[in-house]
Homo-oligomer: A and B are copies of this chain.
Amino acid sequence: MYHIDQRSPVPVYEQLARQIERHIVSGDLADGQKLPSIRELASTLRINPNTVVKTYRQLENEGLVSSRKGLGIFVSILGMDLEGSRDSLFAELTDEYVRKAAGLGMEGDQIVQGLTRRLKGEN
């Protein structure tokens, strides 16, 4: 379901939070839907339960999920501008991509060409 790279300099709880955030904003996880329990997700991903707690707490602070003791963690996006959030996140991704590619000396045409080739090769 989710993929954690232990060698990444990005903290595990952060990797996980960003992945879940994208799943929620994409509509893949609907409002009210229950997320995996802390212990279950920790077991599946082979990480510490405390790390999952940190991930869920961060998502809760961002207003994406809400927790109910004894029940679980649930997607909570009432009245959120999902499409706006999605566009915003995508714009951030694109900015980062362009900035790094530019650092490699790539021109706009080359970037688009490389991306297109990558998409044709996989999909």
Contact = CB atoms under 8 A, between A and B. Distances in A.
B104 A26 contact: yes
Contact of A119 (B10, B96, B112, B114): B112
> What band does the interface of chain A fall in when counting residues whose beta carbon is under 8 Å from B?
35 or more
A93 interface: yes
Contacts of A93: 97, 100-101, 104
Interface in A61-111: 86, 89-91, 93-98, 100-101, 103-106, 108, 111
Given A9-B10, A112-B112, A118 B98 contact: yes
A26 B105 CA distance: 5
Contact of A90 (B9, B11, B114, B123): B114
A104 B123 CA distance: 16
20 contacts: A9-B10, A9-B11, A10-B10, A22-B103, A23-B103, A25-B104, A27-B105, A86-B104, A86-B105, A90-B114, A91-B114, A91-B118, A93-B100, A93-B101, A94-B115, A95-B118, A96-B97, A108-B123, A111-B115, A112-B116
